[in-house]
Structure formats: structure tokens, C-alpha cells
Amino acid sequence: MKILKKLFEILISPYTLLKRYINNSTRDISAYKYTAINSDGTKDTDYLCIKEKIINNFFIMENKELISIKTNKFIKYKYRNINKVPISNKELLYFLVQLNTYIKAGNNLLSSISLVIKKCKYKNLEKILRVVRYDLMCGNDLSDALGMQGNSFPKLLISVLKDNSISLSDHLIEMEDYYKTLFLNEYNGIKLNIYKIFIVPYILMVSMFILGYVIPKFYNLYKIYLDEDLTFLKDFKHFSKYDNIIFISFVILINIYFIIVFLNNTKNIKNMIQKISMKLMKSIIDKEMVVYARTMSLIIKYNLNDQSILNNITDNYYFNNFLIDSFNSYINNHKVSIIVKDKEFFPIRAIEMIESGEKFDSLLLQINNTSNYYQSRLDKNKKRIMSIVGPLIIILSALLFGSIIIIMLFYCLLIIK
């Protein structure tokens, strides 16, 4: 009996662990699946993450007649992250652009939010904005309404919107520009890295094909057809013997690369990869310097003093620490230049500009100049890489397809002969 009991415990242990995990994951989640009738008579079935005590008022304010609503552990688990995971820079940028467009068109804030919800192309963002609209209807400011949505919106955005020195539209334009810079630099960085990653295998592939197949085949066909030796190609005719060795080496290198990418999820390995990447590619430092300078500019301009605003600004370990150290130095009235001086990866040019700003009481101006300087370097680097990669791909493709056509031509001539 003891053996059977032990076997039974072993069999149900995965179920017990899964149940415990689901219970822990859904403990503080308020997610509901509802069915309601819209004002135009159509039926609406969807889910919503909202506090239970305001459900009825929420649907009354949305002018919907609630028919049924339910929740269970499956619903809670499925939608557990809607308020915990920050919305992407792409979604945030879309929200800021759309909201500012409707406000500048003469609509009030509530009407503008409603129009954004109506036209929204991101389902999760739409659901979050519906709760934001309800909180606005209850008399909260936009910054408070966004802050009530858990981690959905960045604390930096919320802190800036609390400032009343300029209009809401001006705030939205400024934050739109900030997140647009972050999004485009991130997007362009990924795009350029993809070019850099795939151009090398493409060059190797074309070179292997031409050296290992095209040249030996062309040499043999030319000799058969014209009964002459191409002496300058004689050294390449045995190259195909090494094809397997080259191919195996290529596969091993690709596997090593993907193993490194997989290990990138481990914190220490990720930091090591970031360190190596910044040593090899200065454009990564330029990109992070733009993020650093733009963020510090907002901190100085609005005199922000809550360190939580720096969460999720950058996933670069080194520059995240630079931001935290610079923030703490600034709010404690210490010199930022002293904190970042002699730090690995922090550019000397940027330190000189910050020192100049502190010396002549123009720190905000010099921080903005730093951002513009490194943004211009990024743009030039992007243009330079694109100007090299485009023609290189065209030349390699022309060589690849041209050599195939020449081989096919010789085969046709041999068949005719």
C-alpha cells in the first residue's frame, strides 16, 4: 500500500504543481468575460480586466446593457498580464499620436480618448483605454487615469503629464517625439543587425558555391568544349574537395550563434554579450547615449525625483546603471559628470559636453546637444551601412545568377555539339 501511495503521489505531483502555479498567478487578477448589448442593438462579447466593484457603473457609462458576466481561473490566467506587462513603444507611440491629433482637432480629452478607442487597431490597448476612459469620467486627471492601469503605461510618461506648466498637447508632442526616437532607434538597430548578421552567411554561401561548384565545373566544361586549359583557374579546380569541411564549419558557427542567442536570456550571459557587442559595434553605444540623453533631459526639465520612472527605459545593463547613477547624482545636487567619468563605455565626448553644461549652468542645453550629436551619428551610420549592403547584395546576386547562367550555357553548347 505504501508503494501504491507513493506512486499515486508521483503521478499527481505535476497536476498539484500546475494547480499551485495557476493559483499563485491568478490570485490578484480581476479578469471577466462578458456579454453586453451596445447602444445600436448589436451584441458584444469580450473580456475585460477591471475591479469588481465598478463593473455595473463601467457598463452604464459605456452605454451598454450587461447581459452576463463570469470569471474563473482559466479566464484570469489567460489575461493575467494585461496590466502587468508594459505596452510596447509602438502601441504607446500610436496612442500618443492619435490622442494628440484628436485634441488638436478641437475635441476635449474624453471625446479624444473615445475616438482613439473607436479607431484603435491594437486589441489589448483598446481594452486598457476603455478603463482609462472610465477613470476620466470619474473625475481623474489623465496622468492619474494612466497610472491606475498597473504597469501598462511608463511611469516617465505619467510623471511628465502631471506637470501643468504647458498644455497637454505640448506634453503629448514632446513625449511622442521621445518615444518615436526610442522606437525608431530600436527598430533601425534590429534592422541593421539583421543586415550585419545575414550578409556574412550570404557572402560565404555565394563564395562557397562559386569556388566549390561554378569554377571547377566551368574549368571542366571549357576544357571539354574548347580542348584548352584555363591555367589561371587551375588552382581552383580541386576546391570542391573541401566543400564538406567548409559546410560543416559553417553549420557549427551558425549553431554557436543560436546557442549564444538562447543563453542571452541568462542575466550574466546577457551582460557579457552586451559588453562584447558594445566593444565590437560603437553604434550600440550611440543608440544607448541617445536614450540616456533624452531621458536625462526630461528629468532635468521637469525636475523629476522618483527613481521608478527609469524602469524599462533600456535593457542595457551598463547604460541602465549610468541612468540610475546620474539620476541620483542630479537629485542630490552632485555633478553628473563626476559620476560617469572614467566609466567603461561612457563616451569621453559626452562627458566633456556634460562638464561644459555644469560649468556654464546650461546642463539641459548640453544634454540636448549630446542627444542630437549621437542621433546624427546613428543616422550617418545607418546611411553608410545601407549604402554598402545594398550594392554588395546586388553584386553578389549578379555573380551568383550570372555564374549559373554561364554553366547552363556551356551545358547547352555541349548538348548541341
160-186 confidence digits (pLDDT tens): 999 888 889 999 999 999 999 888 887
If pLDDT is split at 50, 70 and 90, which confidence band does 302 have? very high
Over 90: is that where the pLDDT of 214 sits? no
Q: Which residue has the cell 451584441?
A: 43
Q: Which of 152-156, 369-373, 404-408 has the lowest mean pLDDT?
A: 404-408
d(CA 278, CA 298): 25
Q: Which of 10-14, 297-301, 351-355, 366-370 has the lowest mean pLDDT?
A: 10-14
Contact (CB, 8 A) for 291 and 315: no
Question: What's the average model confidence in pLDDT over 296-322?
Answer: 90
3-state secondary structure of 69: strand
Ramachandran sector of residue 41 (left: φ over 0; alpha: ψ -120 to 50; beta: rest): left
d(CA 205, CA 207): 5
pLDDT given for residue 246 in this prediction: 58
More confident site: 264 or 58 = 58
pLDDT given for residue 93 in this prediction: 92
Residue type, 306: D
- C-beta neighbour count of 348 within 10 angstroms: 9
Question: What's the average model confidence in pLDDT over 256-285?
Answer: 68
pLDDT given for residue 161 in this prediction: 92
Over 70: is that where the pLDDT of 189 sits? no
What is the value of pTM for the model shown?
A: 0.74
- Burial label, 98 (beta-carbon count in 10 A; 0-12, 13-18, 19+): buried
pLDDT given for residue 374 in this prediction: 92
In this structure, is the dihedral angle defined by the CA atoms of residues 168, 113, 138 and 75, taken in order, positive or negative? negative
Measured over all CA atoms, what is the biggest interatomic distance in the chain, rounded to whole angstroms?
Answer: 92
Helix 89-104 and helix 109-119, axial crossing angle in degrees, nearest 10: 130
**Sequence-ordered strand ranges (E) for 9-168:** 31-37, 43-49, 65-70
pLDDT given for residue 323 in this prediction: 93
Contact (CB, 8 A) for 33 and 70: yes
If pLDDT is split at 50, 70 and 90, which confidence band does 297 have? very high
Ramachandran sector of residue 361 (left: φ over 0; alpha: ψ -120 to 50; beta: rest): left
If pLDDT is split at 50, 70 and 90, which confidence band does 138 have? confident
Distances (CA, A) of 239 to 114, 199, 221: 68, 23, 16
Contact (CB, 8 A) for 220 and 411: no
Q: Which of 4-8, 189-193, 217-221, 407-411 has the lowest mean pLDDT?
A: 4-8
3-state secondary structure of 227: coil
Contact (CB, 8 A) for 103 and 169: yes
The residue count of the chain comes to: 417
pLDDT digits (tens, 9 = 90+) for 348-398: 999 999 999 998 889 999 999 999 999 999 888 878 877 777 777 777 777
pLDDT digits (tens, 9 = 90+) for 36-72: 888 788 888 877 777 777 777 888 788 888 888 887 7
Over 80: is that where the pLDDT of 335 sits? yes
d(CA 190, CA 315): 14
